[in-house]
Amino acid sequence: MRYVAAYLLSALGGNASPQAADIKKILESVGIEADKTRMEKVVTELGGKNVEEVIAQGYGKLASMPAGGAVAVASSGGAAAAGAAATTAAEEKKGREGGV
């Protein structure tokens, strides 16, 4: 994924035809050692394609994926928040009763 991201960064930055050296430069700038085979694969697969169209196709594929996990996360987050609120309310009540 990092190779594709570096390719897209280069393309979106104005490079009409990013090459392996461009990907390598971007990856190394953030401390990632580049693999020549993977860079060449990305350049071969994406070379000559319109970056905006590739991104649009990716959005279409993401839209068709199920997102059931997000609901579970939101539910558990809501339960945790509700539990924290109940604990706070109980502590406040205990504090009021202890001070009387």
Mean pLDDT, all residues of the chain? 78
| Assessment of whether the complete model's pTM goes beyond 0.85 | no
Give the per-residue pLDDT at 66.
Answer: 81
Domain borders along the chain are 1-65, 67-100
pLDDT for res 88: 45
pLDDT value, residue 95:
53
CATH number for the domain running over 1-65: 1.10.10.1410
Q: What is the pLDDT of residues 21-75, one digit of tens each?
A: 999 999 999 999 999 999 999 999 999 988 889 889 888 888 887 876 655 444 4
Q: Which residue has the higher pLDDT, 19 or 55?
A: 19
pLDDT at 86: 47
- The DSSP annotation for 23-91 comes to HHHHHHHTT-PPPHHHHHHHHHHHTTS-HHHHHHHHHHHHHTS--HHHHHHHHHHHHHHHHHHHHHHHH
CB 47 within 8 A of CB 17: yes
